[in-house]
Amino acid sequence: MASGKPPLNPYLAGVFLGLVLTASYAVLGAGLGASGGLARLAAALSHLAAPAHTQASAYFGAWAPHYLSYYLVFMFVGLFVGGLLSAGVAGRLRPGLERGPGCPAARRMVFVFGGGLLVGFASRLAQGCTSGQALSGGALLLTGSLIFLAALFVSGFAVARFFRSQWYA
């Protein structure tokens, strides 16, 4: 499906992203991050469902009671706004469930939810995701971040065949 303008030259997009990351370090003193905001949101939701349990829990509990008073939550909101602006201008606002020809919606939904579950879990284990750990830490040539980055791609390539059916007939 043709959707709006073609994406930017990947190298130019990469330079732009790298400059935003540099600016983040220069202004905030910390890199970009997405899963940090997501985790805060998860803690807040957990608090809505079970306040006492969440406050007493070993991981989320450290953020109580102002789970959302954290700079990465604001960055996460900014990500949405930026994505919306950019997609709107480029004519890429196309609601729908993205999947390959012949892939039943249910399969794509199961895969995408399961993928999210793994990613959410792994981002807490590794204290960051593709942006907060791999990219932000990688730019400082931190050992752990680069190990994470390498493991991410090795694993992605290794298991991709099992999820091929959601894209290719």
Residues 37-96 that bind other proteins (CB under 8 A): 38-39, 41-43, 45-46, 54, 57-60, 62, 69-72, 74-87, 90, 92-96
Q: How far is the CB of 75 from other proteins (least distance, A)?
A: 4
Q: How far is the CB of 168 from other proteins (least distance, A)?
A: 7
Q: Tokens in use for 15?
A: 């330079």
Cα-based angle 129, 133, 60 (whole degrees, multiple of 5): 65
Does the footprint of other proteins cover residue 130 (CB under 8 A)?
yes
Instruction: Give CA–CA dist 39/71, Å, rounded.
Output: 12
The smaller minimum CB distance to other proteins, of residues 71 and 102, is found at 71
Q: How far is the CB of 62 from other proteins (least distance, A)?
A: 6
CA dist 19 → 26, 136, 147 (Å): 10, 12, 23
Q: Tokens in use for 97?
A: 């469930």
Q: How far is the CB of 119 from other proteins (least distance, A)?
A: 4
The smaller minimum CB distance to other proteins, of residues 6 and 52, is found at 6
Residues in the chain: 169
